[in-house]
Amino acid sequence: MLIDAWRPPRPVGSLTVFFALPEGGVFVYLPGTGAMPVLLDELGVPLRDRGRSGEFGFEVSTEELALLDDELILAVDPYPGTSPSLDGVEASPVFAAVPAVRDGRYLRLTTEESQALLAASALSTPVALDALTRVLSG
């Protein structure tokens, strides 16, 4: 019922959600599989289909971060202790040149918000909705 009542504060043309890999680069989620992509789709904020059917996601090296050319980019930090990897991605000049990052349309979710979005359970959904509202209102 909570999901049915929630609407994005503004439309989002395309969305990327990723987490940083310990060895550098990022893992980009794809639509259709897993709790988080399904939740986002139900909320009307779907992940971008990148022509990779049947995959959960894919890795992008630090040198290829310019491929993240979506309107909005969210970084999830789902596990305590992974922040240094995300700090490294954010320090990359290639990442800084990505239009969404350069124009202030990149947001890093807290560990709690990330876990809520990725788990998409009855208990975590309110936290995830609060995070999405904050992100999309900014």
pLDDT over 90 percentage in the chain: 14
What confidence tens digit (pLDDT) does each residue in 20-64 have? 888 888 999 888 767 788 878 877 778 888 777 667 889 999 899
Closest Cα partner for 59 from 106, 114, 101, 21? 21
Quick check: 68 and 106 in contact, CB under 8 A? no
> Which letter does DSSP use for residue 58 in this model?
E
Q: Tell me the CB-side half-sphere exposure of residue 84, using CA atoms within 13 A.
A: 3
For residue 78, is pLDDT > 60? Answer: yes
Report pLDDT for 5.
58
pLDDT band of residue 101 (cuts 50, 70, 90) is: very high
Other residues' Cβ atoms within 10 Å of the Cβ of residue 26: 27
Mean pLDDT of the chain: 81
Residue-number span of the structural domain to which 76 is assigned: 2-137
Q: Number of folded domains in the chain?
A: 1
